[in-house]
Structure 1
Amino acid sequence: MAPDATVDELAAAWAGGCLVVDVREPDEYAAGHVPGARLTPLRSVPGRCDELPFGRPVFVVCASGNRSRAAADWMSSRGVDARSVTGGTPAWARDGRPVVVGTAEHAA
């Protein structure tokens, strides 16, 4: 089972250039996401796990924590140091953290 991460833990790792994977749907991502987050809808996680780094944490976000928990658990079972961010993107935004609206180069 993947560990949970708080928004503060994500913020500290994000400031250091960590990988953030957003497992929401494209329309949710476009409505607002963590800057630099890589869009990987939950259904596509199994086919894209080989794109994830090994040996450094991957922070997984969604809208509430349910999809990120499932994705992080799946990633962890394959050796990725994945962490599900409690409260997801809404918690990030509520904390006054930066949010990008629209699609970005990291979307796929």
Structure 2
Amino acid sequence: MKEITAKDLASKLKDSENVSIIDVREDEEVAQGKIPGAKHIPLGQIPERLNEIDKEKHHFMVCRSGGRSGNACSFLSEQGYDVTNMAGGMLDWEDKVEK
């Protein structure tokens, strides 16, 4: 599984790269703040919401610590998606968040 550090993903955002970030945490976790521009799809809803995830794009998957987003990456990779896990999750995120 491909991985990226929180710091490297933050750099991509600062460089205005067009990145797709999907936050797979639960509603109450996301309410505390998410990466600006990230799309929120709780892990358990990914199978029924695949139509919301563009298969032509590369997506960075995020959760609290990297475990659930890793599971999401495994599942999406099996479905033919190009995904990268943000290692360490939001616990490692030191940049701005939106609420």
Task: Give the Cα–Cα distance (whole angstroms) in 2 for the partners of residues 12 and 36 of structure 1.
Answer: 14
- Structure 2 SS opposite 1:82: strand
Instruction: Give 3-state SS (helix, strand or coil) of 2:8's partner.
Output: helix
**Paired residue total:** 97
Q: Deviations over 1:43-89 (max 9, x none)?
A: 00111122212233100000001100000111111111111100112
Matches within 5 A, 1:1-108: 2-14=1-13, 15-93=16-94, 97-101=95-99
Could you tell me which amino acid in structure 2 is paired with residue 54 of structure 1? K
The unaligned stretches of length 5 or more in structure 1 are 102-108
The 4+ residue runs of structure 1 with deviation greater than 6 A are none
CA distance in 1, matches of 2:93, 2:41: 18
Q: In 2 relative to 1, CA 13–56 (structure 1 residues): closer, same or farther, beyond 3 Å? A: farther
What displacement does 1:32 show? 1.2
Task: Give the whole-Å Cα distance in 2 for the aligned partners of 1:11 and 1:17.
Answer: 12
Q: Which runs of 5+ in 2 are unaligned?
A: none
**Matched residue of 1:59: which SS?**
strand
Instruction: Measure how far apart 1:13 and its partner are.
Output: 3.5
Higher strand fraction: Structure 1 or Structure 2? 2
DSSP-derived class of the 1:10 partner: helix
TM superposition score normalised by structure 2: 0.88
